[in-house]
């Protein structure tokens, strides 16, 4: 069964928003010394990549503006 691309795009958007919220207010030095935040952001990057890989090929080809 083919998944609706909107579901993957929603997952991607939510992962980005959560990663940004987790690191909000941190400068680079603080982020680099906070392993818990690094891992939390990393986990959202993994979610983002998994959701992106679920986008159907035809969606990717007809929407090249979505990296």
Say if 13 falls within a structural domain. yes
Q: What is the pLDDT of residue 60?
A: 85
Q: Which tops the pLDDT comparison, 59 or 67?
A: 59
Say if 53 falls within a structural domain. yes
Mind giving me the DSSP string for the chain? -PPPHHHHHHHHHHHHHHHHHHHTT--HHHHHH-HHHHHHHHHHHHHHHHHHHTS-HHHHHH-TT--
Say if 26 falls within a structural domain. yes
Task: State the residue range of the domain holding 47.
Answer: 5-59
How far is it, in rounded angstroms, from Cα 51 to Cα 59? 13
Q: What is the pLDDT of residue 1?
A: 59
How much is the pTM? 0.83
Tokens 């987790």 sit on residue: 22
Q: What is the pLDDT of residue 33?
A: 97
Q: What is the pLDDT of residues 5-59, one digit of tens each?
A: 899 999 999 999 999 999 999 999 999 999 999 999 999 999 999 999 998 888 8
Say how many domains are in the chain. Answer: 1
Say if 44 falls within a structural domain. yes
How many residues would you count in the chain? 67
């Amino acid at each position: 069964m083919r998944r609706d691309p909107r579901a993957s795009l929603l997952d991607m958007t939510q992962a980005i928003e959560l990663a940004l919220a987790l690191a909000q207010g941190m400068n680079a030095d603080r982020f680099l010394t906070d392993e818990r935040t690094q891992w939390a952001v990393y986990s959202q990057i993994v979610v983002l990549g998994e959701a992106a890989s679920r986008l159907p090929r035809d969606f990717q080809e007809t929407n090249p503006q979505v990296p």
